[in-house]
Amino acid sequence: MKNIIFKNIAKTNNFFIDYFNKINEFIKIINHKFKNISSFNRYLIFLITLLFLYLFFLSIPSLYDKEPLQTKLNKIINEEYNINLSLSPEIQYNILPKPHFLIKNVKFFSNDNTLPKELGQIKKLKVFISQKNFFKKEIIEINSISLNNANFLIHQSDLKYFIKFFGEKFSHKKLNIKNSKFFYIDDNKNVISIFPISKLKLNYNNKDSKNLLISKGEFFTIPYSLNWNKDFLEKKNSTFLKLKKLNLKIINFTSEKKNDALEIENVIYFRNIEMGSNIILNKNLIEIKSQENSKIKNNKIGYIGKIDLSPFYLNMDLNFERLNFKKNIFDNSLLRNLLLIEPLYDENLNAKFTLKVENLVKSKLFNSSKILVNLENGAINFDNTIFKGDLGNLNLISGNLVNVKDDLIFTGNFVFNISSEDLFYKLFQINKKNRNKIKNVYFDISYNLIKDKIIINNLILEPGKIKAEEELQDILNLFENEKKIHNWIDFKNFVRKVFVNYYEG
């Protein structure tokens, strides 16, 4: 019996010895093989193995059940970002560029628990997730979200929701909006304005206790960049807006609301213009008043105005210490480009500007002016504008500016009231024998600001009459075609020629 036991033990022992010898031989063969592989290839194989394992790890969320995942993501997003999204079951998982869930056809609602209102539709929502807990599908941690190709429909009544949203702390995890549009809609469900957004980022900075927002897009077809922050410690908002196409920069500092009114300090930099304003924002009214340091170059300016928000209407009075009308207005290419902007001719835009100039520099005829600009029903008019001088006053009875296929066409009906005949004769060097009584000069002008073409019609001189009217019209047509007036001397000779040859008092 003992011999049998010892034989079995010896047999078992020999089996294990033989098995381990085979393993040892296999290891020797593997080592021998690896001796022929370069160090670079060893590292490469190792890295490929790691990459394969990592990609396998990243693919784990694709195995999650869609229905509980939809519910889970919906809850996490709404709680984290304080927004009300309704996720669709169209969920897919992508590894690149970073692990994220792509959810299509998402709806955005207000936070009203009783009757949520739909505020937008999001074609693609990307939810970027942390890689820490892929093996625990119950614990999903969001790093950031991205709303792509969204349309937001904003009514006047919805502004309260957004004001409240921006007044509270954002999530410290970024929320991005890309290639989307904001539609502002009136009470009759008409779209008033469309604001395309190429990108918008917002998040809360714990270190500085600030809400941060960065955005790029278009404002009335003009590209802009915007930086905004809300400082919860100082209780102040700061806004930095750039419109590169117009070379315009706007800076805003807003203090905490007092007595239902918001006080804003605003500074506008526009080429050589610096305008500082104090603004009071009420419920349906905005009041604006210039700061003392407002200037254009070394020229002081002042302004005061009001903006009614319901319905929209802007009324602004501006005062200039001095102004070179020809250089700053008539020959200003930037102003012409500004007047070409289509939103200025929007039928819903109503505004009135009164521009008073105390001293018209380099003007032979006028000392001061009062220019009236009205934007109404898709048109711009300058009715009742007046230029004052020692010689007399030039009144623009009616004047309109229209944009016709990118041609700016100004038409105006003028009357020149001459208060000093002696100064008129002296200024235009009219000799005594040709000095007829003159009180008023009426004329119409059509001027293409882009092509620099001017047409003068319906020239009437009072109290006398025009002689050789057809010949005079030929002279006016010649003036249009050949552009003979280039300076003050040309203009003086033109007026003298018309007065001496075609007027009898």
DSSP line for 192-252: EEEEEEEEEEEEEETTTTEEEEEEEEEETTEEEEEEEEEETTTTEEEEEEEEGGGTEEEEE
Q: What string of H, E and C letters represents the secondary structure of 30-77?
A: HHHHHHCCCHHHHHHHHHHHHHHHHHHHHCHHHHCCHHHHHHHHHHHH
Residue 46: predicted pLDDT = 65
**168 Cβ neighbours under 8 A, 6+ residues apart:** 82
Residue 84: predicted pLDDT = 92
Specify whether the CB–CB gap between 128 and 99 falls below 8 A.
yes
The neighbour count for residue 199, using CB atoms within 10 Å, is: 15
How far apart are the C-alpha atoms of 163 and 447, rounded to whole Å?
Answer: 46
Residue 369: predicted pLDDT = 94
Residue 383: predicted pLDDT = 94
> Shortest CA distance to 343 belongs to which of 433, 459, 257, 222?
222
How far apart are the C-alpha atoms of 36 and 366, rounded to whole Å?
Answer: 98
In three-state secondary structure terms, 476 is helix
Alpha helices by DSSP H, 327-416? 333-339
Q: What are the distances in angstroms from CA 367 to CA 40, 426, 493? A: 86, 17, 22
**Residue 215: alpha-carbon gap to chain centroid:** 10
**230 Cβ neighbours under 8 A, 6+ residues apart:** 166, 167, 210, 211, 236, 237
Residue 16: predicted pLDDT = 46
How far apart are the C-alpha atoms of 59 and 132, rounded to whole Å?
Answer: 13
Residue 460: enclosing H or E segment and its boundaries? strand 453-462
- Classify each residue of 2-34 as buried b or exposed e, where b means 16 or more C-beta atoms within 10 Å of its C-beta: eeeeeeeeeeeeeeeeeeeeeeeeeeeeeeeee
For the chain, residues with pLDDT lower than 50 are 2, 5, 16
Specify whether the CB–CB gap between 373 and 352 falls below 8 A.
yes
| Bond prior to 311 in cis (omega within 30° of 0) | yes
Tokens of 144: 């950031």
Q: What are the E-state strand segments in 95-174?
A: 100-109, 118-129, 142-155
By the 10 Å C-beta count (0-12 exposed, 13-18 middle, 19+ buried), 441 is classed as: buried
Specify whether the CB–CB gap between 409 and 455 falls below 8 A.
no
CA-based angle 331:295:254, to the nearest 5?
Answer: 120
Residue 184: predicted pLDDT = 87
β-bridge pairing 210-219 and 248-255:
unpaired
By the 10 Å C-beta count (0-12 exposed, 13-18 middle, 19+ buried), 393 is classed as: middle
- Please write down the long-range contacts of 464-468, taking CB distance under 8 Å and 24 or more positions apart: 464/436, 464/437, 464/438, 464/503, 464/504, 464/505, 465/503, 465/504, 466/502, 466/503, 467/502, 467/503, 467/504, 468/501, 468/502
Specify whether the CB–CB gap between 101 and 73 falls below 8 A.
yes
Specify whether the CB–CB gap between 463 and 432 falls below 8 A.
no
Residue 123: predicted pLDDT = 95
Q: What string of H, E and C letters represents the secondary structure of 175-188?
A: EEEEEEEEEEECCC
> Shortest CA distance to 388 belongs to which of 363, 359, 366, 372?
366
How far apart are the C-alpha atoms of 12 and 179, rounded to whole Å?
Answer: 74
The neighbour count for residue 222, using CB atoms within 10 Å, is: 14
DSSP3 helix / strand / coil % (the chain, rounded to 5): 30, 45, 25
Tokens of 377: 């029903």
How far apart are the C-alpha atoms of 228 and 268, rounded to whole Å?
Answer: 16
How far apart are the C-alpha atoms of 58 and 98, rounded to whole Å?
Answer: 10
Q: What are the distances in angstroms from CA 96 to CA 63, 70, 99, 126? A: 17, 20, 6, 11
Q: Quick: pLDDT tens for 459-480.
A: 888 887 777 777 777 777 766 5
